Amino acid sequence: MIRLATLGVVLYGTVAPVLTIYRVATVPIDTVRVLPALIFTICYLPPHIRNVLYAARGERPPRSLWTVGVMMALIISAIPVAGIDWLGALYALAASALLVIPPPLSFFTFAGVAAALVPLASVSGHLEWAISLVLDALFLALSLALLTWVIATARQLHDARLELADQAAVRERIRIDRDVRRTVGVELEGIVEQGTRAAALTGDPDAADAELRALALRSRATLTAVRRRIARGLSASDGDW
């Protein structure tokens, strides 16, 4: 389930880049801008997906600041050739900043990216798009970050539960071992001693027969006790699961 959720959040992380390419190509229809937008997307999308995967595992990738810096350089350098619609690529940058940069620096970076959309939209000649761009950035980046954090938390809880289960199993094995040594072990030692005495009574058939009968009864009682303890242990294990 966690793997499927991780796959889902990775796919969700590609929504903004795909929508950005679609807008660049269709609003208005301009095939000239599509190629550079596609090339730059291919360049910045792998590190973005890498950041999402690491964050979904509750980890930070090595050189996370460098990764975000490279993404920022790629995305910003493509704005002059891809146009105003390319600003949607900054959503992925904002999400990656939240996911892999340690707080509070991540919050400042996210706020800076969101705030930068306003002057960038103004320079591109579409200041009226600024509010829409900022709101889209807040929604897409925050939703991706929140979903990823939820998956990371679920993974940590799952790992903790498995660790607790392993510890409980080890404690149960230790308890059973002590119990067996204290009860069944003592009985088995007694059976061995009684069998040794019976073997030594070769000159007294009646006494040897009595010892053997007592040995058989004791063996049956011990076997019954072992079976009862095993049954209780299995019942307890079934109850735990």
Q: What is the pLDDT of residues 124-136, one digit of tens each?
A: 666 677 677 777 7
CA gap 59, 152 in Å, rounded: 8
pLDDT of 212 strictly over 70: no
Residues facing residue 29 across a β-bridge: 26
Quick one: what percent of the chain has pLDDT higher than 90?
Answer: 8
* Residue 52 identity (one-letter amino acid): V
* Dmax (CA) of the chain: 117
Tokens representing 130 are 């600024």
- Specify the pLDDT at position 232: 67
- Specify the pLDDT at position 178: 76
Please indicate whether residue 124 or residue 88 has the higher confidence score (pLDDT): 88
pLDDT of 241 strictly over 50: no
For residue 48, name the pLDDT band (cuts at 50, 70, 90). Answer: very high
Is the bond leading into 47 cis (omega within 30 degrees of zero)? Answer: no
For residue 185, name the pLDDT band (cuts at 50, 70, 90). Answer: low
Tokens representing 57 are 């595992």
Please indicate whether residue 89 or residue 30 has the higher confidence score (pLDDT): 89
Tokens representing 27 are 């609003």
Q: What letter does residue 29 receive in the DSSP assignment?
A: B
Task: Return the minimum-mean-pLDDT range out of 123-127, 147-151, 153-157, 219-223.
Answer: 123-127
- Specify the pLDDT at position 130: 65
- Specify the pLDDT at position 188: 66
Provide CB contacts within 8 A for 151, sequence distance 6+.
Answer: 2, 5, 6, 9, 56
**Residue range 115-123: mean pLDDT, rounded:** 76
For residue 47, name the pLDDT band (cuts at 50, 70, 90). Answer: very high
pLDDT of 172 strictly over 50: yes
Is the bond leading into 104 cis (omega within 30 degrees of zero)? Answer: yes
Half-sphere exposure of 192 (CA within 13 A, CB side): 6
Provide CB contacts within 8 A for 240, sequence distance 6+.
Answer: 168
Provide CB contacts within 8 A for 150, sequence distance 6+.
Answer: none
Task: Return the minimum-mean-pLDDT range out of 27-36, 96-105, 133-142.
Answer: 27-36
Tokens representing 144 are 């991706």
- Are residues 2 and 155 in contact, defined by beta-carbon separation less than 8 angstroms? yes
In terms of Cβ atoms closer than 10 Å to its own Cβ (0-12, 13-18, 19+), residue 65 is middle
- Are residues 219 and 226 in contact, defined by beta-carbon separation less than 8 angstroms? no
Tokens representing 76 are 């910003």
CA gap 173, 117 in Å, rounded: 61
Q: Where are the beta strands (DSSP E) in the chain?
A: none
